Amino acid sequence: MLQIIRSKTIAEITVLQNEQEMTITKPGLYSVSSVVSDIMAPINVDFTITHNGHTIEGESTQMKTRFMHKGNFAKEFYQFEVTQPGKYLITINEPIVPRGSLIVKESMPNIKRIAAIVLLVLGFNLSGWGIILSCNPHPFIK
């Protein structure tokens, strides 16, 4: 769970800008998120990510994770894999959302995210039972 919270923002581009260069220093999984003032606003932005003239292919995320970014709602909607560090260019082709911005952040696979949530819940459950049993070692015996 800490990896989700501590994920670093690589670049932020407003919808009114056409393109922005970003530097990615390590290989891994990255995500593009839409930052809007309304969480129910649609995510309709056509963009491309290129590295040395080659377009980076990605996929739409199945879990549309929501989080807060500088006081506004953000929703992750696209993930891509980076194998070579370097300078990347994100270009907005056709903005549909009039206000808002896109951010590129470090991300993690969905299976790791689900496993972290399940292990967090199990950890709280076990600590709760530890407190109960330390106060009453025989809770089910009358």
- pLDDT single digits (tens) 22-58: 888 888 888 888 887 665 666 667 778 888 888 888 7
Lowest model confidence (mean pLDDT) among 9-13, 20-24, 86-90 = 9-13
Higher pLDDT, 133 or 18: 133
Buried b (16+ CB within 10 A) or exposed e, 29-63: ebbbbbbbeeeeeebebebebebeeeebeeeebee
Average predicted confidence (pLDDT) for the chain: 79
pLDDT at 1: 47
- Rounded Cα distance between 99 and 84, Å, is 32
**Cα–Cα distances in Å, from 134 out to 74, 99, 137?**
42, 54, 6
Rounded mean pLDDT of 75-91? 86
